[in-house]
Chains A and B, each alone.
Chain A
Amino acid sequence: MNITVRVWRQKNADDKGKMVTYGVENVSEHMSFLEMLDVLNEQLTLSGDDPIAFDHDCREGICGACGVVINGQAHGPQTTTTCQLHMRSFEDGAVIDIEPWRAGAFPVVKDLVVDRGAFDRIIQAGGFISAPTGSAPEANNLPVPKEDADHAFESATCIGCGACVAACPNGSGMLFTAAKITHLGLLPQGQPERDSRVIGMIEQHDHEGFGGCTNIGECTSSCPKGIPLDTISRLNRDLLGALAKGKA
């Protein structure tokens, strides 16, 4: 199949940037979306142009490095990561618009690459359990109900890709933050720091310039890992509890 792509090109953080149109020929429907960009980049390189910069690493949907907005949808038309999206999801002759994640907290570095360091800093503000190496008790001393463990696991599968932020009309990082609050909050090991965790993480979330959540739910429909919306409600509940105890 032959397609046309319109890609956001921006040389660096200071450049203004614009959409640029390219044709890509002989695209196989079995190609992944990123392989299609590889083919385009080979073309661009040979013609002396700067290839399009995009983040990626594992190409199997688990590292969270990849992610672009395709035709207005974060990670494109399917509920998966950009690297796991295949060209068979598009028609022959399609015009595909490719843009970087847009959010105040995710400044563009170059072309489709953005800086998601804000997510790491949210984790630094409390997204952990303080368990110094060597201090751990025997693993089976503390049973965890299977249901809680499974639930915690589901929230822990967040890959930190940032699609939720790109999809949220408010540029809110609440689904990402809530996934971590839920993962750690459901486990007995996570209880001692539960209040300080939610307070620290929310403070950092706001400090980074993410928007507030107005319970729109667009984030969950773009999340490749299906992080559910009730995680956000749990975060709200945890913060309310922490504030009520006067912990802030």
Chain B
Amino acid sequence: MTITEPYKNPSEQFHAVGDDIHDAKAPTGPIEKRWDDRKFNAKLVNPANRRKLSVLVVGTGLAGASAAATLGEAGYHVKSFCYQDSPRRAHSIAAQGGINAAKNYRNDGDSIYRLFYDTVKGGDFRARESNVYRLAQVSVNIIDQCVAQGVPFAREYGGLLDNRSFGGVQVSRTFYARGQTGQQLLIGAYQALERQIAAGTVEMNTRHEMLELIMVDDRARGIIVRDMVTGEIETHTADAVVLASGGYGNVFFLSTNAMGCNTTATWRAHRKGAYFANPCYTQIHPTCIPVSGDYQSKLTLMSESLRNDGRIWVPKKMNDERLASEIPEDERDYYLERIYPAFGNLVPRDIASRAAKYQCDAGKGVGPGGLGVYLDFADAIDRLGRPAVEAKYGNLFDMYAQITGEDPYSEPMRIYPAVHYTMGGLWVDYDLQSNLTGLFVTGEANFSEHGANRLGASALMQGLADGYFVLPYTLANYLADGPYDKVDHDHPAVVEAKQAVEERITTLLAINGTRTVDSYHKELGQIMWDYCGMERTEEGLTKAIGMIRDLKTDFWANVKVTGVNEELNQTLERAGRVADFFELGELMCIDALNRRESCGGHFRAESQTEDGEALRHDDEFAYVSAWEYGDKQPTLHKEPLEYEYVEMKSRSYK
């Protein structure tokens, strides 16, 4: 079914519509000169004055650690925060596949322009051209920087850097360090950060969770954090605040994100006025290890590279109980090869994920609960021999065996899609500044350069681009007007923020109800997965909004948070995060309801072509949805997107 006539968007029962956003501050002129122009016109800060300027950086993932290290090195006074016991444990550590850069080392026609083009197209025309071009430009410097830091990228026998192709593009531009690229890049940034900590330019606060943003005279001037060991509620003030607190995929409870990933930092800023952009854009990764039981706490990703040699299939018969090996060839449905003959098993993530869901919905899923499809290497082993398959995928096979207790060499693997990445986040302008003056947002926490869908190996690139090469210029431009008036700890705005945090904690501890925090989180996650997951409908989203509101009310009446504030209290930490996820989840559904088109990671069942492919509506929805918080209801601001360089086309993989 296609949407034909314009009608009042049913989402508007849940929100207001505000003014459009027109100035995202990107310079005009030829796209390849915009970043140079911006850098040249940015105000500079005399090195002698930098010490007097202070910055708070929340998060020590690739985006946060690279920023804190670089700003510290430049001489600013930096305070850095993370909720883990060490900055090295930020979730970026888990990234496996690699990092893109337009080095063209393979002489295969790659260029800055091509990386720019691929990213805009991959993002399904929902990203800003200027930002994406800058990202492609600085990508080359990232690799230089990381190599100089000692990041042990894979190399060729000649000693030069190796590349592989990744994520459905035709050039080899992905730099990698076996299956641990994120780890190696993060260790590089972490070491640079530790070096600055030793030098005294960065003050590190581990096991500190940001719980509130402090706004003074319409500027972001500080944060309230909880010392997670002593429970002390601390105030930190500075001339600027940077949020690099990562993505919010954990709203689904089950995801490939680390257990502690949360939206609290960004959501609290949102409540203080920062726009939240495109919250409904979530990326669902097709090759994850399926859920094995209701105790499951997280899902594990297996590299997409497995789809290069593995063949995906399900039994043709419904609810087939036989072992895979007992199902004869002609009773198997290699559905991706059948439906998408040109790309076969290598169709993009969203398509592969949705196709798997359809098979399982049709009762053809395999494994516990029928939530899985086979990823079969039997042909590859026949064709290449077991040793070759082992050399290529050995560590992934081992990981699979370790987790499932099954041997993927003899029985096919079972895979199922899982939430993996969130393209949405706080709205920022070209300078990575949110609509709140002095609040900068980097990495997965902002709504980023990936539009409606992120290409593989581009998140690491973006995090490091922001931290090493973009923010240091644009933040300096802002700081050049500082230092701003000192904010006393008894300033009314500080006192108000601190009291709000304390009251919330007291309330959570006082409820003393009958249900655990996790049980709420699981239920919320199930609602999100069912109605705001791979496929969304008007009816489902409307229903979900009601369910989330009810669940939220129940949470605040019946949750049980044990212990006290004045000690390490992991239940209390989780309760605060889940409370914010409720509010974010609701906004995600409203955003998804508003966007009556299918684009990238957002598939509206009402908006598909006759043969079931995603259908965009560029005439109506070529904009960024930036949501303003409101006590009663949120307000939608649209930032129209214009494409001067890449022509808008619809994707086809048939």
Indicate whether A and B are direct neighbours in the complex (CB within 8 Å): yes
- Complex partner residue of A139 from B161, B405, B560, CB under 8 angstroms: B161
| Interface pair A110/B84, CB less than 8 Å apart | no
In the complex, how many angstroms separate the beta carbon of B160 from the nearest chain A beta carbon? 5
- Count of A residues near B, CB < 8 Å? 76
Tell whether B295 is near chain A: CB-to-CB under 8 Å: yes
Known interface pairs A65-B84, A86-B403. Does A153 touch B158 (Cβ–Cβ under 8 Å)?
no
Cβ < 8 Å to B, chain A residues 49-67 = 49-51, 53, 55-60, 62-65
Cα–Cα distance between A137 and B146 once the two chains are bound (Å): 10
Residues of A within 8 A of B157 (CB): 146
A157 in contact (CB, < 8 A): yes
Instruction: Mark out the residues of chain B between 181 and 209 whose CB falls within 8 Å of any chain A CB in the assembled complex.
Output: 183-184, 187, 190-192, 194-195, 197-198, 204, 206
- Inter-chain CA distance A194–B93, complex, in Å, is 26
CA distance A123 to B69 in the complex (A): 14
Say whether A5 faces chain B, with CB atoms less than 8 Å apart.
no
Which of A12, A125, A138 meets B144, CB within 8 Å? Answer: A138
B91 lies within 8 A of A58 (CB)? yes
Contact A57 B260 (CB under 8 A): yes
A120 near B150 with CB under 8 A, answer no
B506 part of interface (Cβ distance < 8 Å): no
Q: B391: CB under 8 A from chain A? A: no
| From B105, B144, B155, contact of A149 by CB (8 A) | B155
A63 in contact with B93 (CB, 8 Å): yes
Q: Is B421 an interface residue (CB 8 A)?
A: no
Given the known interface contacts A109-B229, A116-B85, A133-B472, the answer about A128 and B144 at a Cβ–Cβ threshold of 8 Å is no
Indicate whether A29 reaches chain B with its CB closer than 8 angstroms: yes
Cβ contact of A137, chosen from B86, B144, B156, B301, cutoff 8 A: B144
- Chain B residues closer than 8 Å to A58, beta-carbon distance: 89, 91, 93-94, 258-259
Q: A62, B183: Cβ atoms under 8 Å?
A: yes
In the bound assembly, the distance between CA atoms of A150 and B404 in angstroms comes to 29
Q: 1/0 per position for B514-536, CB-CB distance to A under 8 A? A: 10101100000000000000000
Any B CB within 8 A of the CB of A3: no
Q: Chain B: how many interface residues by the 8 Å CB criterion? A: 79
A57 touches B258 (CB 8 A): yes
A38, B150: Cβ atoms closer than 8 Å: no
In the complex, are the beta carbons of B568 and A120 less than 8 A apart? no
Interface 9-residue window, one of A69-77, A184-192, A215-223: A184-192
Kindly identify, within residues 494 to 512 of chain B, every residue whose CB is under 8 Å from any CB belonging to chain A: none
Which residue of chain B has its CB nearest to the CB of A55?
Answer: B85
- Which residues of chain A are near B156, meaning CB under 8 Å? 146
Interface residue ranges of A88-122 to B (CB < 8 Å): 88, 109-110, 113, 115-117, 119-120
- Chain B CB within 8 A of A143 CB: yes
A242 CB-CB contact with B under 8 Å: no
Docked-complex contact A184 and B293, CB < 8 angstroms:
no
Bound Cα distance A123, B198 (Å): 9
B146: which A residues are within 8 A, CB to CB? Answer: 139
Nearest opposing residue in chain A for B183, CB measure: A62
Chain B residues in 8 Å Cβ range of A6: none
Q: Does A178 touch B at the CB level, under 8 Å?
A: no
Task: State the CA gap A171–B423 with chains docked (Å).
Answer: 44
Which residues of B are found within 8 Å of A9, using beta-carbon distances?
none
Contacts of B403-448 to chain A: CB distance below 8 A: 403-405
A149 to B147 Cα, complex, angstroms: 11
Tell me if B154 counts as interface (CB < 8 A to partner A). Answer: yes
Minimum C-beta distance from B149 to chain A (A): 5
Distance (whole angstroms) from the CB of A168 to the closest CB of chain B: 20
Q: Mark B127-151, 1 if CB is under 8 A from A, else 0.
A: 0000000000000010111111110
Query: What residues of chain A lie closer than 8 Å to B86, measured between beta carbons?
Result: 64, 116-117, 119-120, 160
> Inside 8 A of B178's CB, which chain A residues have their CB?
153
- Chain A nearest CB, measured from B366 CB (Å): 16
Shortest distance in angstroms between B84's beta carbon and chain A's nearest beta carbon?
6
- A42 contacts the other chain (CB 8 A): yes
A214 within 8 A of B: no
- State the CA gap A123–B190 with chains docked (Å): 9
Q: Inside 8 A of A65's CB, which chain B residues have their CB?
A: 84-85, 89
Q: In this assembly, does B570 line the interface, its C-beta being within 8 Å of a C-beta of chain A?
A: yes
Q: In angstroms, how far is the closest chain A Cβ from the Cβ of B87?
A: 7
A128 contact set on B, CB distance < 8 A: 149-150, 191-192, 194-195
Within 8 A of A (CB), among B275-334: 292-293, 295-298, 300-301
B561 closest partner in A (C-beta): A45
CB–CB A139/B295 < 8 A: no
- B-contacting residues, A171-197, CB 8 Å: 183-184, 187, 189-190
A244 adjacent to chain B (CB < 8 Å) = no
B91 contacts which chain A residues (CB < 8 A)? 57-58, 63
Q: How far is the CA of A130 from the CA of B192 in the complex (A)?
A: 7
- Residues in chain A near residue B66, CB distance under 8 A: 133
* Complex Cα–Cα for A155 and B269 (A): 40
Tell me, yes or no, whether B226 is within 8 Å of chain A by CB: no
Whether, in the assembled complex, B571 has its beta carbon less than 8 Å from a beta carbon of chain A, the answer is yes
Structural contact, A59 and B297, CB atoms closer than 8 A? yes
Chain B residue nearest to A54 (CB atoms) is B570
15 A–B contact pairs at CB < 8 A? A29-B405, A31-B295, A39-B295, A58-B259, A63-B91, A64-B88, A65-B85, A117-B206, A123-B191, A128-B191, A129-B148, A131-B145, A140-B160, A150-B155, A152-B150
B-binding residues in A (CB < 8 A):
11-12, 28-32, 34-35, 38-39, 42, 45-46, 48-51, 53, 55-60, 62-65, 80, 84, 86, 88, 109-110, 113, 115-117, 119-120, 123-125, 127-140, 142-146, 149-150, 152-153, 156-157, 159-160, 183-184, 187, 189-190
Q: 7 shortest A-B CB distances, which residue pairs?
A: A143-B159, A136-B148, A128-B191, A124-B198, A131-B148, A153-B152, A136-B144
17 other A-B residue contacts (CB within 8 Å) besides A59-B298, A152-B152: A30-B293, A30-B405, A46-B560, A58-B259, A86-B405, A109-B568, A113-B85, A124-B198, A128-B150, A129-B191, A131-B145, A134-B145, A136-B141, A139-B147, A143-B160, A150-B155, A157-B180
Q: Which B positions have Cβ atoms within 8 angstroms of A?
A: 66, 69-70, 73, 84-89, 91, 93-94, 103, 105, 141, 143-150, 152-161, 177-178, 180, 183-184, 187, 190-192, 194-195, 197-198, 204, 206, 229, 258-260, 292-293, 295-298, 300-301, 402-405, 468-469, 472, 514, 516, 518-519, 560, 562-563, 567-568, 570-571
